Amino acid sequence: QGLKPLVPTESPAPIFGTSKLASDLPATDSFLGINKVPDLQKIFQRSDGLPVHLKRGVPDKMLYRTTMALTIGGTIYCLVALYIASQPKNQ
């Protein structure tokens, strides 16, 4: 029997998003849409004293506060559960 290799010996055929060659596509067809990178670079490189995870305004603040609330709530819940579990049982 012996050991069998973990990886296949033949590589699978590549899968592409389109059957057309890039040279066959018109220049106006864009699969990626508009380039948002320069706009985002302006936002994130601005020196306004905010940490990078809060630079995009209200959605970032809501996500941050929700995460902090769940973290603190989960910690309190675990501590209470440990306290209750450590109490001796009366029979």
Q: In this predicted structure, what is the pLDDT of residue 7?
A: 63
Sign of the dihedral through C-alpha 54, 60, 62, 67: negative
Structural domains of the chain, count: 1
- Rounded CA-CA distance 68/74 in Å is 10
What separation in angstroms does the CA of 15 have from each of 11, 57, 64, 84?
A: 12, 39, 38, 56
User: Which domain CATH number covers 73?
Assistant: 4.10.91.10
Amino acid in the structure at residue 47: S
Asked whether residue 2 is domain-assigned, the answer is no
Q: What is the DSSP letter of 73?
A: H
| Assessment of whether the complete model's pTM goes beyond 0.75 | no
Q: In this predicted structure, what is the pLDDT of residue 77?
A: 98
Domain residues for the domain of 67 are 49-90
Asked whether residue 82 is domain-assigned, the answer is yes
Mean pLDDT by 10 residues, the chain (91 residues): 66 67 58 81 89 90 96 98 91 67
